[in-house]
Structure 1
């Protein structure tokens, strides 16, 4: 276990990786962290500052300067970013001017933190520097990968709070990282056990959230090294939802546990974005601009696998963009502008993915309507013109009508992979009615087409419903009063359907009916992510647990007087 963690630490980058886990480790060890890493501020060499007991029992200030990997000659000296320059700045500026007044009388320990080891050619220079600059008040301590790994195992990952069965699940998840389905199953078991353990007390909630954060980091770094990010991506969604479940009971509180859980949640959102952005940059975006590029990269001859992978990629593009949009709304104008530029980039990449891979013009199953809805939601955030979106939805409607008429590979209500492989099993009326018993895709695209001014296409869908799909229940899903306690962990029996959507008579009443149904359903507005403005959490739950996106997200933007 220690070797696994040590290798993980050596692979961490300095900014937003190694310095992201150290504050939680220090808090778990009993330190009071009063300064965390920040972007855009002068830190005077100090990445993390904390107060706690030293090995001699005295209370001291610990000032951490964090560097990536091994400490090499280049990392030690010669550039403004080198460790020696940071240590000089800590002694000359931070210790004299930046230490809070209430800690002024405490002794100072300057900690050299890095995930690897000190190279032999640097050791002599480092030892000489420490000997020359150690005073009665200022001392130095080396926090290398071996020491940090040991502290993790003594602190946040110690055996009494991460017992052997949980460690076994974690180690199996890391060991099977090149088999994403198996790795995810083991990590899901670890997540479930840690969450249940965390529900026993407020302190246990914080500890479980921090443990999940550390374990997800380790899984991500190992997966990044072998260039297979599938398992950590899925695990990051799962961890976000489980930590939200731990946080929910503390939402209205202002105590230490509530603040600590909120800090961990923010760290997990950033980690999820790191994982998803790296996944997209490595596995999706390079192929989006190439004709059939992504389809060929999947390396399968099965058209079903291509279709499923394409819509999965579109959903991940969309959710990443919506998180970026959400973060931008919580920053200044510069952050908003930067976030908007990234959202536009992702929308353009998504449209390129659609246009270069014709399989994306029609889903193979109804649950893929979630990925369609997420991309439409991202388009709303982008404020781009509707030309690309309109042509995609029109083409989708046309292909839907055609495949229904010939009873080819039309979207089916089943989501079981084995049934999808055989779909359509035959062209009998009995099978057709079973496979098209209900649809969330048709009312979704019809509503958007109506709002975008394509009434002729909506009328064609209306004719299809009257002539071929009179048996099909057109419905949308929205949360109900029971959803708050069941949504985030994936329980299926909650929510309610907005059914009897009036498409058979054309699209005139379609938007008004959906809007009225969404307004009458109070379950959506009562969900904790909506009430606290952490609304992307709800979208993560919908995507991860294969639920439709509630119309409460988008319907009011489609009503003419609200546009």
Structure 2
């Protein structure tokens, strides 16, 4: 365990990483954290401040931490930069202490020089000399290196009674196998279950343990150049944290808001991992024709299809988190006609991804409906990407109808790989009718076609239902009274199906039925994530459990788009928005299907689409 944690600290970066871990470590040690690192404010040398009992002499003291990542060399100790550590320590002595709160002014002060690695040999004598010269009664300097932090974690936050042998073994396995995502995530999932069911700890303490374990896995994944396992693990940790904390978040009062802060830290880490994968590596290539398709590195079209839809769902989920966290969210509603630059960039890259990879015109399984719904939800919520959403709905509708006619490249109700890779085995009448006997994608497309001004497409889907899919059950997933108890834990069936939907001319019957469901379903409004204003948690749970988002989350958007003139449309997913704690490739071409017969028309449409629809040239 010690080598794993030691390498974890050596790999942390200073800003928002090492200085984000230290407060959680101090909290686990029983200290009260007074201040945390902030961007854009002068901190006068102290990155973190805390008050607690000194384990050396048992005296209550004020601890001030000045933090540096990695190894400390001469330049970082006393160089010309304003960020030199010695200068930060001088600012604590000369400036910070003069502004200490009155209730802490009489406490002995311990200034802790904190480095993630070691102090290099040629720097250590200068550090020791400075500490000896500056130490005096009531003012002491200490040095915490990566080894010190490791022992604090192993003997504190991850001590045996908190993190027993079972979870320790699982964390070691997950970290060691981080380059094998399936195996690593399986081990980490077991760790999550063991920690989450440990009733000897308070829920906040369990979440902090999961947070630290996820950080360790993330740093090991970063070092290995593979963040797939940390990303998937982070989704599970967010959901498990919500299940553990939502009752405490609802009851948070006062200054500390410990449950709210713990969940916020978990969410921030999840989005950090998302950013390292998608902001840094995927989205810069979104507009390059087939770039993401070829990056799958598979000669099987179904592999490319599955990977692309999964990528689209992840990109959309990241954008929807950004929408929720947008600074303008304090307002009662959001003018998405003027989204922030980060949110606009993500939505634009998502649109470019769709039109640069035509495999995204042909979903292979109904289980991809959740990724499709998330992407359409984000694209439709922003004005610059609504034309791309409308065009995509049109291509999806017509491509799936053509795929049905050819009995290939149509979304099947089954999601197992063996069936999807051998779709030609389903071409006899009985098997094909069974494989296409239920659909959530078709009513979703009809609803978005209605909301995005493509009523003719909705009418075409209505004719498709009557002429070809009379045997199929058109349905939507909805929340029921038992959903709260099952949704946040991955696996198993949850919720209900609103079945026997009929599209009708221009989707009239479908919209009427969905409006009735939205109005009559009281369980949705009582769901914790909705009641507390954390609706992205529900969307994430839908994505992880492969459930299409319920119509309560997207039908209001579509109704708003239909009701308002295009130039004045506004929409907010924030239903009674509350702050945290209080209210708060190639196209897929399966066997025996001609590329020219199926995709040439769609290639032309994507190539000719206006730049405003997909963020620029797809070439």
2:616 match: none
CA contact (8 A) 2:487 2:494 kept: yes
Pairing of 1:23-62 with structure 2 (within 5 A): 23-54=23-54, 55-62=56-63
Measured against aligned partners, the alpha-carbon deviations of 1:286-329 in whole angstroms (never above 9, x if no partner) come to 33221111111111001001001101111111111111111114
| Structure 1 residues 422 and 155: CA distance shift in structure 2, 3 A | same
Measured against aligned partners, the alpha-carbon deviations of 1:330-365 in whole angstroms (never above 9, x if no partner) come to 6679x9999721111111111111111110111100
**1-structure distance, mates of 2:160, 2:530:** 37
Range with bigger deviation, 511-520 or 256-265 = 256-265
**1-structure distance, mates of 2:128, 2:231:** 42
**2-structure distance, mates of 1:22, 1:436:** 53
| Residue 60 (structure 1) shift | 1.2
Pairing of 1:323-334 with structure 2 (within 5 A): 323-329=321-327
The reply to whether residue 189 of structure 1 matches residue 209 of structure 2 is: no
**2-structure distance, mates of 1:53, 1:251:** 28
* SS at 1:412 equivalent: coil
| Residue 252 (structure 1) shift | 3.4
1:95 match: 97
**1-structure distance, mates of 2:524, 2:487:** 11
Pairing of 1:265-304 with structure 2 (within 5 A): 265-304=263-302
1:176 match: 177
Measured against aligned partners, the alpha-carbon deviations of 1:495-522 in whole angstroms (never above 9, x if no partner) come to 1222222215552332232122122111
| Residue 233 (structure 1) shift | 0.5
* SS at 1:509 equivalent: helix
**1-structure distance, mates of 2:335, 2:10:** 34
2:241 match: 243
> 557, 560, 563: which one pairs with 1:561?
563
* SS at 1:120 equivalent: coil
1:306 match: 304
Pairing of 1:452-467 with structure 2 (within 5 A): 452-467=452-467
2:259 match: 261
Range with bigger deviation, 45-54 or 295-304 = 45-54
**2-structure distance, mates of 1:281, 1:561:** 34
The reply to whether residue 381 of structure 1 matches residue 387 of structure 2 is: no
* SS at 1:285 equivalent: helix
| Residue 3 (structure 1) shift | 1.2
Range with bigger deviation, 69-78 or 34-43 = 34-43
CA contact (8 A) 2:131 2:141 kept: yes
1:360 match: 360
| Residue 417 (structure 1) shift | 1.3
Measured against aligned partners, the alpha-carbon deviations of 1:184-238 in whole angstroms (never above 9, x if no partner) come to 00000000110001xx26x521221111000000101110111111100000000
| Structure 1 residues 307 and 456: CA distance shift in structure 2, 3 A | same
| Structure 1 residues 381 and 40: CA distance shift in structure 2, 3 A | farther
| Residue 38 (structure 1) shift | 1.9
Measured against aligned partners, the alpha-carbon deviations of 1:47-79 in whole angstroms (never above 9, x if no partner) come to 111112220222211100111111112211221
CA contact (8 A) 2:72 2:123 kept: yes
**1-structure distance, mates of 2:177, 2:541:** 25
| Residue 492 (structure 1) shift | 3.0
* SS at 1:165 equivalent: helix
2:585 match: none
* SS at 2:250 equivalent: coil
CA contact (8 A) 1:114 1:145 kept: yes
CA contact (8 A) 2:437 2:473 kept: yes
**2-structure distance, mates of 1:251, 1:136:** 42
Measured against aligned partners, the alpha-carbon deviations of 1:258-288 in whole angstroms (never above 9, x if no partner) come to 9322211100111000001111134422332
* SS at 2:508 equivalent: coil
**1-structure distance, mates of 2:256, 2:464:** 53
> 214, 222, 228: which one pairs with 2:226?
228
**2-structure distance, mates of 1:524, 1:369:** 20
**2-structure distance, mates of 1:330, 1:73:** 44
2:602 match: none
| Residue 383 (structure 1) shift | 3.0
CA contact (8 A) 1:329 1:336 kept: no
The reply to whether residue 65 of structure 1 matches residue 66 of structure 2 is: yes
CA contact (8 A) 1:478 1:518 kept: no
* SS at 1:159 equivalent: coil
CA contact (8 A) 2:380 2:389 kept: no
**2-structure distance, mates of 1:466, 1:529:** 38
**1-structure distance, mates of 2:253, 2:354:** 48
The reply to whether residue 322 of structure 1 matches residue 320 of structure 2 is: yes
**1-structure distance, mates of 2:521, 2:493:** 17
| Residue 257 (structure 1) shift | 12
**1-structure distance, mates of 2:280, 2:295:** 11
Range with bigger deviation, 319-328 or 514-523 = 514-523
- Runs (5+) with no aligned partner, structure 2: 570-619
**1-structure distance, mates of 2:507, 2:106:** 74
* SS at 1:51 equivalent: strand
**2-structure distance, mates of 1:81, 1:413:** 58
**1-structure distance, mates of 2:89, 2:393:** 59
**1-structure distance, mates of 2:193, 2:217:** 16
2:122 match: 121
| Structure 1 residues 311 and 143: CA distance shift in structure 2, 3 A | same
Q: How many residues align?
A: 558
2:611 match: none
- Between 1 and 2, higher relative CO (CA 8 Å, sep ≥ 6) is seen in 2
- Runs (5+) with no aligned partner, structure 1: none
1:5 match: 5
**1-structure distance, mates of 2:528, 2:152:** 35
**1-structure distance, mates of 2:59, 2:471:** 77
**1-structure distance, mates of 2:50, 2:507:** 62
CA contact (8 A) 2:249 2:259 kept: no
CA contact (8 A) 1:284 1:313 kept: no
- Following TM superposition, the consecutive aligned residue runs of length 4 or more in structure 1 with deviations greater than 6 angstroms are 255-258, 330-333, 335-339
Measured against aligned partners, the alpha-carbon deviations of 1:67-99 in whole angstroms (never above 9, x if no partner) come to 111111221122101111110110000112x21
RMSD between aligned residues: 2.0
1:161 match: 162
